[in-house]
């Protein structure tokens, strides 16, 4: 058996909605499920780039501890509502946006006058309520790109003197959880499968957030690795070649068993044969993602094959 560290593959992405997805990664070297899962979770929650309001100005209000004529909420309540507005910003420049609303009614994020570089994600977020039919509400807001969390004190250093600073929550990932299960490759039964679920605020897809987190970790570790490189077990082309080459006796013979003798459903068997998969050895030459991409061979067929191989203890 090889002492090399396995290279994992992203074998499945289950998109529950536009803002939630589950990623399945395997096979991982023993113990690496927890190592990668914890690293990815921390980066996803703290370091993915996002946009947030960093300061604002309301006509008629000079500071946050005051009220606005004709508006039900005071400035502190308005500030709390502003924190919940999520944006997509196409570019890196600071954006200045305006809200102008006259007459009685509710002011929402939909009332923000955006430009070609800014899109409001949750347009139904309430900002304040005008309760005087003759009143008007005018607000200027600044939106910036950042990572993680920035306090009011940090933001106040760069804001214009007439603006009120607000602590900014940039991170677009709202929730991230993971679990580690056992998996196997050939005769190696001590490998890990990592299942990680990502929920975002809609300003970024879970897939993009997942890929950005991995890119951040790669950059960090590559900077520290220097010229050192470790040989890894490549599973992208074959999950079990190294193990099957070492098999002898009955187990080696079992690998030459025809797929037609496995008592699989006719549909699954035909799909394998039509794709030139004739023996168990041919099955082991492909990983889960490659099997799933075969013509006429889907997830249900893959599960059926896995169950049969587990039954045969292969």
Domain ranges of the chain: 1-48+172-232, 50-150+159-166, 247-314
The whole-number average pLDDT for the span 104-121 is 94
Residue 275 has a pLDDT of 80
Report percent pLDDT > 90 for the chain.
52
Report percent pLDDT > 70 for the chain.
89
Specify the CATH class of 50-150+159-166 in words: mainly beta
The CATH number, out of the four listed (3.30.1360.10, 3.30.70.3270, 2.60.40.1220, 3.30.950.10), of the domain defined by the range 1-48+172-232: 3.30.1360.10
Intra-chain end-to-end CA distance of the chain, in Å: 16
- Report if pTM > 0.85: no
Exposure class string for 33-44: b at 16+ Cβ within 10 A, else e: beebbebbbebb
- At 236-280, the pLDDT tens digits run 444 444 444 444 344 445 667 787 777 778 888 888 888 878 887
- At 127-144, the pLDDT tens digits run 999 999 999 999 999 999
The whole-number average pLDDT for the span 16-36 is 92
Question: Do 50-150+159-166 and 247-314 fold alike per CATH?
Answer: no
Query: Span 247-314: which CATH code?
Result: 1.10.150.20
């Amino acid at each position: 058996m090889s002492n090399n560290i396995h290279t994992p593959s992203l074998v499945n992405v289950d998109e529950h909605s536009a803002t939630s997805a589950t990623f399945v990664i395997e096979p991982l070297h023993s113990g690496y499920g927890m190592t990668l899962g914890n690293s990815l979770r921390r980066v996803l929650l703290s370091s993915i780039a996002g946009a947030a309001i960093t300061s604002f100005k309301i006509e008629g209000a000079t500071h946050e501890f005051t009220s606005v004529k004709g508006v039900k909420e005071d400035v502190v309540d308005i500030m709390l509502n502003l924190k919940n507005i999520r944006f997509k910003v196409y570019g890196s420049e600071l954006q200045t946006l305006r809200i102008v609303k006259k007459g009685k009614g509710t002011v929402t994020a939909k009332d923000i006058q955006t430009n070609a570089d800014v899109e409001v994600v949750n347009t139904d977020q309430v900002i304040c309520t005008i309760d005087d039919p003759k009143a008007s509400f005018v607000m200027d807001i600044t939106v910036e790109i950042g990572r993680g969390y920035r306090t009011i004190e940090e933001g106040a250093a760069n804001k214009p003197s007439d603006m009120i600073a607000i602590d900014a929550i940039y991170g677009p990932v709202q929730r991230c959880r993971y679990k580690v299960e056992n998996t196997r490759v050939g005769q190696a039964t001590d490998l890990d499968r990592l299942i990680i679920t990502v929920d975002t605020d809609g300003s970024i897809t879970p897939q993009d957030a997942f890929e950005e987190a991995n890119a951040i970790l790669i950059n960090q570790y590559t900077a520290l690795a220097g010229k050192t490189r470790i040989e890894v077990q490549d599973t992208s082309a074959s999950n079990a070649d190294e193990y099957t080459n070492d098999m002898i006796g009955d187990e080696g013979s079992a690998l030459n068993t025809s797929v037609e003798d496995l008592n699989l459903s006719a549909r699954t068997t035909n799909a394998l044969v039509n794709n030139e998969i004739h023996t168990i050895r041919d099955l082991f030459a492909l990983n889960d993602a490659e099997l799933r991409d075969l013509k006429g061979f889907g997830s249900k067929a893959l599960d059926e094959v896995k169950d049969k191989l587990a039954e045969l203890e292969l």
